[in-house]
Structure 1
Amino acid sequence: MASRRRAIQSRRWSSVSSASSESSDELFVEARSSPLREGEEGEEEEAAPPAEGRWARMLPELLGEIVKRVEAGGEKWPLRKDVVSCACVCRRWREITRGIVRSPLESGRITFPASLKQPGPRDSPIQCFIKRNKKNSTFYLYLGLTQTFMDKGKFLLAARRFRNGAHTEYIISLDADDLSQGSKAYMGKLRSDFLGTKFTIYDSRPPYDGAKAASSRASRRFASKQISPQVSSSNFEVGQVSYKFNLLKSRGPRRMHCTLQCPSTQEIAEDDSMKSKGQNPGGSVVLRNKAPRWHEHLQCWCLNFHGRVTVASVKNFQLVAITDPSQPWGIGDGDTVLLQFGKVGDDVFTMDYRQPLSAFQAFAICLTSFGTKFACE
């Protein structure tokens, strides 16, 4: 029996050494994971499902090392697409890749679509820009790859403005060509009141297990006959943005007030465990626009955008957290800019955000700035 087992092992090693068209590491993995033939004795190795292919049978340690090197070598797009390609090989590769690639909060990089709804870094903002198409009322969010405003960027999100009765809605999608509420790429929406001074942000996914979907007819995504089992059929309110009325028409910029559901730094790590218990892992953060100063020489209101905004516009703004020592984020100093938005061209605007905001939330807030607001200006 022992001699038969050694003979079987010898045949395996000989097949590894004789092959020349493939690498030895790959063949070694394939030889170890292949089961014994029927009638042969010995301890069988568990074979991977046939649908996964031989790439899924790679040793976890070797696979993890490969993904780590690919991730380390792709600091920015387009090199970063190699990390996404690794996650697309099969389910096993996807799980290992997701375990290695860090969130924007830790790495300052956006990799997967899930990153768009995760908080940005704390120390330095993620720099993006928005392109507007006035002809079809569409807005495109790109990740900035360089410091120049001529950068083509990496596409992240798209939004289109619709008129829904007396209200205006912005549908936000991962697909620039499919901006419908019934799409699988649907991420959420923004809805305004009649005057365009109060907005509600809706997420397509519940922010936590047990969250209640908005019950009004206007907040429903689409008719029941259009619902797909793979797509959430509800909208969940995650924030509000309001502009203060300027009844006296006094000189000055728009005044904004935002209330958002955002997880704290500690709660992000505990998110999964709290979701399993049906608890709300997040809290709320209150933001307001940073007050500008009046420049006597230029005779205008000024804010320091540190070179990221080059064109004066009533749409430009900077948001800071209202000072509150009880906030778990530790950012309510009233001075740290969490989101800034400003014009750099006829239809190009920069958008820089950081913790606790996500790219989705920041994009939704910036969309509220478009459009004329007679009651506020």
Structure 2
Amino acid sequence: MAARCNRVKDVVGPIAFEDYAALEEGAAREFIDSKMLTPIRVSDSSGPFFLNDAVQLCKLLRTEKNLFQLYEEASGRHLLSAKQRGNQYYISSYEFKGHFSPSKFSAVVRQYGGDKAPVSYRLYLCVGAQLLNNQARPIIEVWPSSSCCAGQYVRKLRILLPTPTPRGDVSPHYTHDYSKLAGKHSSPTHTSASGVIRLRNKTPIVKNGAYSLKFARGRAKLSSSKNFLVYREEDLRYDADAPSEEAVFQLGKMGSRTFALDFCNPLSPLQAFAIALAAFDSKHLQPPKTPRKPGSL
């Protein structure tokens, strides 16, 4: 009889997070497929993999107030689910049907900050309901904020993520000291050369109190404060009105509780999903009320 193997397989392999002893005992663990951790890639005839600019079109459904489902647009295949509890989103490959098991999740988005400190959302991989990596090393971090534009407060997103390897794999965590990277987040000279990529959203146009963004491929035509076009920071620095086709992420309202969620290199499906969750959770500030004049109603 072969000896049991208690080791854990590669964390981003096709059978990631697989504990063979647990399987023999009938207790399979939740895992994230490597495709959810990898930007779209194609196979070169010469052998190695390389990244292309293909866009992955998805549909995000908000089936309940705190329940989200991500589907591939063309095939309708379910990709990821998320359930919010408190200041955390629990992410799973399972399609939640209203019931949530705290043991069946493989990633978590946590909110940090608040009380005058900047709020951020950090994505971590998990195994056995425990964080896989050191808490100082998220896979992606999102900083939401807002600013006043034409009398309306518009939402902003700034994003930091690790640079994919030449083969397209995303490291489960940063290879640098994350606390130092976070401190440099506002520096315009800090680029992907140091192992991280910086993204931010384009400011929407406000017309007659409504938010206006032109989405690529006409994917979203409904106005919403949760509509976002996200670019590499250097692209917006050189062209503040960069075309929507150059965006690496777009989240746009298609209908009631339905959003288009499209993304491409350098984002993986899991990272794009985390950005959308942070965008939904961030509070939207209302414009200050104009003080009434004495004697007016």
> TM-score surpassing 0.5?
yes
Provide, for residues 160-187 of structure 1, a one-character-per-residue CA deviation record: whole Å limited to 9, x for no partner: 0111xxxx1101111124745533x413
Which residue of 173, 186, 197 corresponds with 1:285? 197
What are the equivalent positions in structure 2 for 1:36-185 lying under 5 Å apart?
113-120=33-40, 122-134=52-64, 137-145=66-74, 153-163=76-86, 168-177=87-96, 179-183=100-104, 185=105
Contact kept in structure 2, 1:199 and 1:241, CA below 8 Å: yes
Query: Can you give the 5+ residue segments of structure 2 that lack an aligned partner in the other structure?
Result: 3-13, 15-31, 42-51, 177-193, 288-297
Partner residue, 2:163: 262
Contact kept in structure 1, 2:144 and 2:279, CA below 8 Å: no
What is the CA RMSD across the aligned residues, in angstroms?
3.9
Q: 1:372 to 1:333 in 2, by over 3 A?
A: closer
Q: CA deviation at 1:154?
A: 0.7
| Cα separation, 2, equivalents of 1:371 and 1:172 | 15
| Cα separation, 1, equivalents of 2:91 and 2:248 | 21
Q: 1:303 to 1:179 in 2, by over 3 A?
A: same
Runs of 4+ in 1 over 3 A off after TM superposition: 177-182, 192-197, 231-236, 245-250, 298-301, 332-335, 374-377
Q: CA deviation at 1:133?
A: 2.2
What are the equivalent positions in structure 2 for 1:178-257 lying under 5 Å apart?
179-183=100-104, 185-194=105-114, 198-204=119-125, 221-222=129-130, 232=132, 236-246=137-147, 250-257=151-158
Provide, for residues 273-297 of structure 1, a one-character-per-residue CA deviation record: whole Å limited to 9, x for no partner: xx9xx967x92111111133455xx
Contact kept in structure 2, 1:158 and 1:179, CA below 8 Å: no
| Cα separation, 1, equivalents of 2:252 and 2:274 | 15
TM-score by length of 1: 0.49
Contact kept in structure 2, 1:321 and 1:333, CA below 8 Å: no
Higher-helix-fraction structure: 1
| Cα separation, 2, equivalents of 1:198 and 1:358 | 23
| Cα separation, 1, equivalents of 2:123 and 2:257 | 25
Whether 2:225 is the aligned partner of 1:321: answer no
What percent of counterpart residues are identical? 24
Q: CA deviation at 1:303?
A: 1.5
What are the equivalent positions in structure 2 for 1:6-25 lying under 5 Å apart?
none
| Cα separation, 2, equivalents of 1:368 and 1:116 | 18
Q: 1:160 to 1:308 in 2, by over 3 A?
A: same
Q: CA deviation at 1:346?
A: 1.1
Contact kept in structure 1, 2:89 and 2:110, CA below 8 Å: yes
TM-score by length of 2: 0.61
Q: 1:303 to 1:170 in 2, by over 3 A?
A: same
Letter of the structure 1 residue corresponding to residue 122 of structure 2:
I
Contact kept in structure 1, 2:232 and 2:248, CA below 8 Å: yes
Which residue of 338, 343, 347 corresponds with 2:257? 347
Q: 1:115 to 1:376 in 2, by over 3 A?
A: farther
Higher-strand-fraction structure: 2
Letter of the structure 2 residue corresponding to residue 315 of structure 1:
K
